[in-house]
Amino acid sequence: MARRKYFEKSFGDSLRTLKMPTKLDKLMEKLPKPEGAVPNFGLPRWQIMSLDAKLPSVPAPKDAYHFSRRKIGQELFIQFKDAQFHLDDPYNYEIDVSYDSLHDKHLVNYFSKKNILKYLIQRGFVTKNLDAICTVKEYNMHRKYLKKLFSDKIKKEFKRQGDFFIDNKILRNAESQAQKDIERIKIQEQKQLLREKLLQNVMLSEKEKLKKQKMKAKKDKERLEKIERNKREHLQQMKLKSKLHTENVKKKRLMMIRKYQNKLITNLLKRAKREKIREKTIREKEFQEAERKRRNLEQKWQKKQQFQRQQIATEKFLSEYALERRKIAIKKYNKKMSKNKNRKKENVSREFKIKVRKFSKRKKKRSQVEKNSLKRLRNARLESKKKPALNKLKNVHNKEERSSKDDLCLMTDKCKCDNPENELCEDHQ
């Protein structure tokens, strides 16, 4: 109980906020995640985070971790055989599909040269393991793309399970309907003899109905042909409009791009002049601040790693503790049920207990008599110490003889003193 109270005080709030795994979480653990979904760098919490969450840019010492999507020459976008075609984001607002030369498979031979590799590593574009370095934003966008691929897999798995459940249900219904059809056929065979006479009259009426239905079918075909012609004409007009619209949009984009490029060139020239003046004064300050920040970052990085490892350990411990509490509750319930059974047995054995109580009362009475005799002996010994030595010896000898008689009297419930009637004397009473 004390251990339980201690855990409830210290970890009560964290137990309540602890997320229990759902069916979707269990299914996500079974399915294999795409390549690059679980990062092999950074903090230990990043490996547990879901694909929905974005990774932060945590300050860390130099070369502690680097964000990299894939290696040089490997394409960023993964292709699957069963992948679906989505039209949710046609203008690529959610996912950026910009070109990156480091991930172009046609430039692998160029980047594999020694001189170029050294230059890329020195400038910080590539790691020593040939991983292409990217920014946090680019890595999170790639992570979002992997999440879409993983969600497609989950949807397919749900659909497969649903189809399997529906197929089983259809088979069961088909079997039940087949049995019902067999019973109906037996009844219909009995009635078929009576229906044959009525069918001859019905056939004549059906022939007239078929003629009318053929006339209606011809009219329906003519209507459908007209509708299809109108649709084709409408589609041709829409295609012409779309072509004109796309040409106008392309022209506008080219104009905007040229204006933007001219502005960038002018701004860059101005900045280059200012930066040359500032660099001389800033370099000395940056060198001193870089060393100070580097020491602080190393300390913070070690503290974060220790804190997150402890947090993960506590979460595991709490989940185990929750299971132990459940087992204890089951044991208490079983104890209550066993007590109810024992109560029924106790009601049967009450008579036996009453007899045992009477027997115990008799023993207590006998023990009280023995205690009173011992008190008398003690009092007599204290009085004898005050008298001279001779009197002490006489009194002790007489009392020992008397105590032996008292014991015999108590065992036989009769007095063996100089009493002719063999009854208890006043002293023994």
Helix (H/G/I), strand (E/B), else coil: 139: helix
User: Which stretch of DSSP H or E encloses residue 133?
Assistant: strand 131-133
Q: Phi and psi at residue 76, in whole multiples of 5°? A: -80, -35
pLDDT of residue 413: 44
Q: What is the pLDDT of residue 115?
A: 92
Is there a contact between 51 and 123 (Cβ–Cβ < 8 Å)? no
For residue 327, what pLDDT is reported?
Answer: 87
CA distance 332 to 8: 19
Query: From CA 371, how far away is CA 377, in angstroms rounded?
Result: 10
Task: Give pLDDT, residue 333.
Answer: 86
Residue corresponding to tokens 């005050």: 386
What three-state secondary structure class fits 70?
Answer: strand
Q: Around Cβ 356, how many Cβ atoms within 10 Å?
A: 9
Per-residue model confidence (pLDDT) at position 420: 44
List per-residue pLDDT tens for the chain, 429 residues long: 555 555 555 665 666 666 777 777 777 777 777 777 777 777 777 777 777 778 888 887 877 778 888 888 888 877 666 666 667 777 777 677 678 888 888 988 998 899 998 998 888 888 888 888 888 888 888 888 888 888 888 888 888 888 888 988 898 888 888 888 888 888 888 888 787 878 888 788 888 888 888 888 888 888 888 888 888 888 888 888 888 888 888 888 888 888 888 888 988 888 888 888 888 888 888 888 888 888 898 999 889 888 988 888 888 888 888 888 888 988 888 888 888 888 877 776 777 777 767 777 776 776 776 677 777 777 777 766 655 555 655 565 565 555 554 544 444 444 444 444 444 444 444
Sequential DSSP letters for 201-268: HHHHHHHHHHHHHHHHHHHHHHHHHHHHHHHHHHHHHHHHHHHHHHHHHHHHHHHHHHHHHHHHHHHH
